[in-house]
Structure 1
Amino acid sequence: MPLTTDAVLTLVQQVAAEVVTPRFRSLTESEIDEKQPGDLVTVADREAEELLTAALLEAYPDAVVLGEEAHAADEGLLQRFREADHGFTVDPVDGTKNFVQGSPDHAVMVSEVVDGETVRGWIWQPEHQVAWVAERGAGTRRNGVPVVREPAGARPRGATSIWSRRGRQPLGLPALRGSWVCCGIDYPRLMEGEADYLLYGHTNAWDHLPGSLMLREAGGAVAHRDGSPYTARSDSPGLVVAADAETLRLVLEACEGIWPRTGS
Structure 2
Amino acid sequence: MGNLIDDVAALMREVAAREIMPRFRLLKEGEIEEKSKGDFVTIADREAELWLTPRLEALVSGSRVLGEEAVAGEPARMGLIESDDPVWTVDPVDGTSNFIAGRETFGVMIALIRRGIAEQAWIYLPVPGELAIAERGAGAWWTSKGQTERLSAGHAPRELPDVAGAFNTRFMPEAWRERIEKFSAVVGRKANDFCSAVDYTAVARGRKDLVTYHRMMPWDHVPGSLIVREAGGVVRDMANGVDYAPRTLAGPHLVARDEEGWRRFADAIRGL
- Report the TM-score when normalising by structure 1: 0.90
* Residues 100-141 of structure 1 deviation map (CA, whole Å, 9 limit, x = unaligned): 000111001100011111110011101011011111111111
CA distance in 2, matches of 1:171, 1:179: 11
- Distance, in Å, in 2 between the alignment partners of 1:67 and 1:86 is 14
Distance 1:96 1:171 in 2: 24
Contact persistence 2:45–2:93 (CA under 8 A): yes
Check conservation: 2:167, 2:184, Cα contact below 8 A.
no
CA distance in 2, matches of 1:100, 1:50: 19
| 2:86 corresponds to | 86
2:29 maps to which residue? Answer: 29
- Counterpart residue number, 2:165: 158
Distance 1:193 1:57 in 2: 33
Distance 1:94 1:176 in 2: 23
Change (3 A) 1:52 1:257: farther
**Equivalent residue number for residue 173 of structure 2:** none
> Residue 146 of structure 1 is aligned with which of 144, 150, 162?
150
Return 5+ residue gaps in structure 1 as ranges.
259-264
Q: Which residue of 228, 238, 242 maps to 1:215?
A: 228
1:37-186 → structure 2 map (5 Å cutoff): 37-143=37-143, 144-155=148-159, 156-162=163-169, 168-170=181-183, 174=187, 177-186=190-199
Shift of 1:168: 1.9
Q: CA deviation at 1:60?
A: 2.8
Distance 2:76 2:34 in 1: 21
1:13 and 1:137 mapped to 2: Cα distance? 25
Stretch moving more, 160-169 or 226-235: 160-169
The one-letter code matched in structure 2 to 1:148 is: S
Residue in 1 aligned with 2:211?
Answer: 198
**Which moved further from structure 2: 76-85 or 219-228?**
76-85
Q: Deviations over 1:188-208 (max 9, x none)?
A: 122232321100121111011
Moved more, 12-21 or 2-11: 2-11
1:104 counterpart SS class: coil
1:17 is matched with which residue?
17
Misfit runs of 4+, over 6 Å = 163-167
Q: Distance in 2 between matches of 1:173 and 1:249?
A: 17
Aligned to 1:243: 257
Answer yes or no: is the 8 Å Cα contact 1:46–1:69 preserved in 2: yes
d(CA) in 1 for partners of 2:185, 2:55: 48
What is the deviation of 1:151? 1.2
State how far apart, in whole Å, the 2-side matches of 1:117 and 1:99 are: 30
* Distance of 2:38 and 2:201 partners within structure 1: 25
Q: Residue deviations 1:20-45, cap 9 Å, x none?
A: 00000000121000101111100000
Counterparts of 1:71 and 1:3, CA distance in 2: 29
- Say which structure is richer in helix: 2
| CA distance, structure 1, for counterparts of residue 270 and residue 179 of structure 2 | 16
Give the counterpart letter for 1:130 in structure 2. E
CA contact (8 A) 2:214 2:250 kept: no
Alpha-carbon spacing, 1:21–1:76, altered in 2? closer, same or farther (3 Å): same
Alignment partner of 2:110: what SS?
A: strand
CA distance in 2, matches of 1:196, 1:222: 12
For residue 82 of structure 1, what is the amino acid of its counterpart?
Answer: E
Instruction: Check 1:162–1:61 CA distance in 2 against 1; reply closer, same or farther (3 A cut).
Output: same
- Contact 1:171 / 1:255 at 8 angstroms: preserved in 2? no
